[in-house]
Amino acid sequence: MRILGEVVVRNNGNQLKTKKGSTLNSGGYTNTSHIGPGRVWGKSREYTAPTIQVTIAAAEDVDVMDINAMEAATLTWEGDNGIDYMMTGCAPQAPFQLSDSGEITGTFEGEKVERV
């Protein structure tokens, strides 16, 4: 049995230079309890968009401006455990940040995640 240890993240088929620590949130519903005196009256739910959080190596061929300009991209999450996911309609959730430690960090938000 293989446990997830490494992930390759691709943008429209091209591998991003991601470092260890990428995180996939497959999206879905966030439930909220509505509380009364000593009880829960019920729950409501709101859809939460899927995300992929990454740290990218700031190599000379990687431009933070290009990453921030991405729109309607398709990202794939290829796990070394044999389970892969595809997130469609992706764009940066907020502008990615470039640090002097050689890293570009941020989160992509998409419309839908499905197993491929």
* Cβ contact 89:83 at 8 Å: no
What was the pLDDT predicted at 54? 98
What was the pLDDT predicted at 98? 98
- pLDDT, tens only, 56-103: 999 999 999 999 999 999 999 999 999 999 999 999 999 999 999 999
* Cβ contact 50:37 at 8 Å: no
Strands, E assignment, the chain: 7-11, 14-15, 23-25, 28-36, 39-48, 51-57, 73-79, 84-92, 97-98, 103-109, 112-115
Task: State yes or no: pLDDT of 1 exceeds 90.
Answer: no
- pLDDT, tens only, 18-46: 999 999 999 999 999 999 999 999 999 99
Domain of 18 in residue numbering reads as 5-31+40-115
The residue with tokens 């491929």 is 116
- pLDDT, tens only, 46-65: 999 999 999 999 999 999 99
- Please give the Cα distance from 84 to 114 (Å, whole number): 9
The domain tally of the chain equals 1
**Mean pLDDT score across all residues of the chain:** 97
Question: Smallest Cα–Cα separation from 7: which of 49, 48, 52?
Answer: 52
